[in-house]
């Protein structure tokens, strides 16, 4: 049975009260499919709320500093997550590249910091040149990283890529860079998740909007398992 990753990215959403309500509702579900690895990436201030969570998830963050710990006001260094349950870090999401001017060089610095802190970097790419840049600038990514393929037209639009296109992109990445996990992201829903999760070269999906509602997200997790 193929193990499938489902990564929920809350982006810049949820007050403390809303996050607590999500966790309470999600905790009511006991029958998690065993072949799904769930990762939730909330906003930073929610992380302590997940420490006592009674459900089987991995915790991730949506970004990290390109610098080590020290005098970098406003940044959170990868090494500062020591002693927390945060094990995954998203890097170079298209919204960060677009709104915060993240370059391939900055992505590479974030990868290096994350790998040396023992975290799993999930590097987001919408074209293969961005993967090539990771290979050139931060080859340590390939020790334990995952790519997240997110075509720009599909992110937050309600119009996903086709599973066949996503699989073809992932197949090409695999032939260029070797076997590493590749997720698809962009308008994934409970209705379409199985068609992505069952593709040969995809190891799972990343979910923005559909992760914000605990019932929809749980249904998506269950459906992801049904064809895996
Ligand atoms: P979406 O976001 O599910 O809301 O389209 C996906 C992503 O940001 O990768």
pLDDT digits (tens, 9 = 90+) for 15-72: 999 999 999 999 999 889 999 999 999 999 999 999 888 889 999 999 999 999 999 9
Which of the listed residues 182, 183, 208 should we mutate to test ligand 1's pocket, taking the one with most ligand atoms within 8 A of CB?
208
Q: Is 105 a catalytic residue?
A: no
Average pLDDT for the chain? 96
Return the exposure string of 137-161: e unless at least 16 CB atoms fall within 10 Å of the residue's CB, then b: bbeebeeebbbbbbbeebbeeeebb
Cα-to-centroid distance, 71 and ligand 1 (Å) = 33
CA-CA distance, 199 to 180, in Å (whole number)?
A: 14
pTM for the structure as a whole: 0.96
- Cβ neighbours of residue 52 closer than 8 Å, sequence gap 6 or more: none
pLDDT of residue 121: 98
Report strand pairing: 36-41 vs 57-61: parallel
Q: How far is CA 148 from CA 27, 126, 207, in A?
A: 27, 8, 11
- pLDDT value of position 1: 57
Of all protein residues, the one whose alpha carbon is nearest to atom 9 of ligand 1 is 185
- Catalytic-residue membership of 150: yes
**Cα(70) to centroid(ligand 1), Å:** 32
150 within ligand 1 shell (Cβ under 6 A) = yes
Closest CA to 111 of 88, 91, 86: 91
Q: Is pLDDT above 60 for 167?
A: yes
| 3-state SS assignment for residue 60 | strand
Q: Distance (Å, rounded) from C-alpha 96 to C-alpha 93? A: 5
- Residue 181 pLDDT > 70: yes
**What confidence tier does 139 reach under pLDDT thresholds 50, 70, 90?**
very high
Which residue, among 170, 115, 176, 123, has the nearest Cα to 146 in the 3D structure? 123
**Which among 204, 203, 201 has a CA at the least distance from the CA of 176?**
201
């Amino acid at each position: 049975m193929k193990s499938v990753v489902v990564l929920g990215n809350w982006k810049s959403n949820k007050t403390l009260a809303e996050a607590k309500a999500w966790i309470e509702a999600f905790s009511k579900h006991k029958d998690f499919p065993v072949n799904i690895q769930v990762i939730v990436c909330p906003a930073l201030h929610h992380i302590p709320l997940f420490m006592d969570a009674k459900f089987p998830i991995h915790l991730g963050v949506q970004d990290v500093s390109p610098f080590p710990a020290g005098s970098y006001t406003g940044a959170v260094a990868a090494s500062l997550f020591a002693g927390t349950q945060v094990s995954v870090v998203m890097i170079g999401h298209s919204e960060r590249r677009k709104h915060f001017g993240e370059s391939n060089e900055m992505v590479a610095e974030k990868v290096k910091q994350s790998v040396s802190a023992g975290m799993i970097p999930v590097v987001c790419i919408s074209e293969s040149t961005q993967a090539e840049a990771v290979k050139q600038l931060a080859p340590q990514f390939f020790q334990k990283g995952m790519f997240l393929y997110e075509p720009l037209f599909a992110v937050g639009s309600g119009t996903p890529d086709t599973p066949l296109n996503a699989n073809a992109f992932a197949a090409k990445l695999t032939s260029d860079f070797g076997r590493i996990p590749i997720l698809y992201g962009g308008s994934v829903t409970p209705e379409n998740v199985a068609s992505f999760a069952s593709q040969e070269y995809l190891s799972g999906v990343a979910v923005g909007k559909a992760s914000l509602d605990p019932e929809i997200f749980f249904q998506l997790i269950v459906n992801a398992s049904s064809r895996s």
